Structure 1
Amino acid sequence: MTTLSLIGIGTGNPDHLTAQAVKALNRADLILLPRKGDDKSDLADLRRQIVGAVVTAPVTVAEYDVPKRADQTDYLGAVNDWHDAIAAVWQAAIDAHLPKGGRVALMVWGDPSLYDSTLRIAARLPGLTTEVIPGITSLQVLTAAHAIPLNALAAPVVITTGRRLRDEGWPPAANSVGVMLDSGGAFQAVDPHGVTIWWGAYVGMPQQALIHGPLAEVAAQIVETRARLRAEHGWIMDIYLMRRGDER
């Protein structure tokens, strides 16, 4: 029997790990650690730092190269093929290091339940029992960094992606919109009148950058800052919350 623990690690800050996450890492027989190329080596380094900071048990760490997603017009098809390839890499690593089964741990940015496909990939592996250790989401870290509530008083919140915001505009009936997985500047697709934005890159990390204000006034600043930071670090993780009206 093989058990895969998907462990939410927040934004990579060891202080964001829960006690449950630390226990799960220490009881693992194998920790899978993904590498996404030299331009994103910081992400692997952060996972290594977490292992070094909290793992005291003798655990095998196996690093693997994440397959690249094909660039094709069929987005969902490309994603499904990509997930198949990642699942095959996981299976090969598990078979190599735990041929008789055991406990496998995989650290997931934020929480495995929110705009993350690790659970869908795990479902492709036969004979595997999956458990989820919840983590702090980047949306929580963003609102904490700006010291704001996620929602206006008694008002709804929609969490969506940059792709959908760009294609469909402001979600109907939403007062507040949290946007994840934006390739850059999707907020420019909405009417900025009366909209406030709270943006953050690398939230919770040492290189954290924050901008907030009326969307009409700070949109260009966010676009410029995002481009500069991506060029400087070779990668970027950013997220933002937008709200209509004056109430925070």
Structure 2
Amino acid sequence: MLTLSLIGIGCGDPDQLTRAAIEAINAADLVLIPRKGTVKSDLADLRRTICADVLTSDKTEIAEFDLPVRDAGETDYRKGVDDWHDAVATTWQQAIARHLAGEGKVALLIWGDPSLYDSSLRIARRLNPSPKIEVVPGITSIQALCAAHALPLNDIGEAFLVTTGRRLREGGWPAGVDTVVVMLDGDTAFQSLDPAGMHIYWGAYLGMPDQIIMSGALAEIGTRIVAARQDARARHGWIMDSYILKRAR
């Protein structure tokens, strides 16, 4: 039987790896490393570094593969994501078949945590035949962002909401909460909000040597974050960022 281990590796700092993650990597017969194009080679490089640092088994094979690119021109967002997940599942299956004869343990090193705004679990369930799925949790970008700002996420006795930039931009400020965590925001959706009384805690490349963090009143710092984000993306060719918005009562 095939076992697929989805191993959370944190947000960029190899020291964020848990002992459970190290054990799971060493228990694998095959570690798959996805390549996302030259502009995101940093992500593959981190996975290679982790394997070089923690692998002690000479029986573990490392194989790389190219990830399909989601069709950004698809007007039906949900259909575009579904089609992309199907293509990724097929790519996983082909990569596994090239190296394992139907059984063994395969590991995928997941940026952050496999259970938070990551599609690996949904993709894994599209494989046929279905593998046994194991999840090793990892440090999330939310944890790394709060740590970078020395920030308690929730106010005493209060809830918070985790959402995406697309939903914030389309739906505005969510009802019933004063703290919102925003992920997967390619267009700085906070610019669509009335900044009065809002404080933002922003971070990019969290846990990596190029980490950038900024915080302050949204009305004062929002345009500076937009400029810093554009500059960082131009220099690196990609950016991965998230932020927390807190609204004063």
User: What is the TM-score with the length of structure 2 in the denominator?
Assistant: 0.97
Partner of 2:4 in structure 1?
A: 4
Residues 1:53 and 2:56 aligned together: no
1:95 to 97, 107, 111: 97
Partner of 2:68 in structure 1?
A: 67
Partner of 2:167 in structure 1?
A: 164
Residues 1:217 and 2:220 aligned together: yes
Residue 245 of structure 2 aligns with an amino acid whose one-letter code is M
SS of equivalent residue, structure 1 residue 70: coil
Task: Name the Cα RMSD after superposition.
Answer: 0.9
1:100, CA displacement in angstroms?
A: 3.7
Alignment of structure 1 residues 140-219 onto 2, 5 Å: 140-219=143-222
Residues 1:40 and 2:40 aligned together: yes
Q: Structure 1, residues 32-63: CA drift from partner, whole Å, max 9, x if none?
A: 10000011111111111111111111210110
SS of equivalent residue, structure 1 residue 82: helix
1:166, CA displacement in angstroms?
A: 0.6
2:134 to 131, 149, 165: 131
1:95, CA displacement in angstroms?
A: 1.2
- Percent identity between the aligned chains? 57
Residue 211 of structure 1 aligns with an amino acid whose one-letter code is M
Residue 247 of structure 2 aligns with an amino acid whose one-letter code is R
Distance (whole Å) between structure 1 residues aligned to residue 104 and residue 12 of structure 2: 26
SS of equivalent residue, structure 2 residue 49: helix
Residues 1:108 and 2:148 aligned together: no
Distance (whole Å) between structure 1 residues aligned to residue 19 and residue 51 of structure 2: 14
Residue 187 of structure 1 aligns with an amino acid whose one-letter code is F
Residues 1:244 and 2:247 aligned together: yes
Count of residue pairs brought into register by the alignment: 246
Q: Give every structure 1 segment of 4 or more consecutive aligned residues whose post-TM-superposition deviation is greater than 4 Å.
A: none
Distance (whole Å) between structure 1 residues aligned to residue 102 and residue 241 of structure 2: 40
Q: Structure 1, residues 115-145: CA drift from partner, whole Å, max 9, x if none?
A: 1100000000123110100000000000000
Distance (whole Å) between structure 1 residues aligned to residue 241 and residue 183 of structure 2: 7
SS of equivalent residue, structure 1 residue 111: coil
1:12, CA displacement in angstroms?
A: 2.3
Distance (whole Å) between structure 2 residues aligned to residue 14 and residue 57 of structure 1: 19
Residue 147 of structure 1 aligns with an amino acid whose one-letter code is A
1:175, CA displacement in angstroms?
A: 1.2
1:64, CA displacement in angstroms?
A: 0.3
Q: Structure 1, residues 78-107: CA drift from partner, whole Å, max 9, x if none?
A: 111110011001111111111141000001
1:237, CA displacement in angstroms?
A: 0.5
Residues 12 and 206 in structure 2, CA contact (< 8 A), matched pair in contact too: no
1:244, CA displacement in angstroms?
A: 1.0
Q: Unaligned 5+ residue runs, structure 2?
A: none
Distance (whole Å) between structure 2 residues aligned to residue 16 and residue 109 of structure 1: 11
SS of equivalent residue, structure 1 residue 170: coil
Partner of 1:17 in structure 2?
A: 17
1:110, CA displacement in angstroms?
A: 0.8
Residue 35 of structure 1 aligns with an amino acid whose one-letter code is R
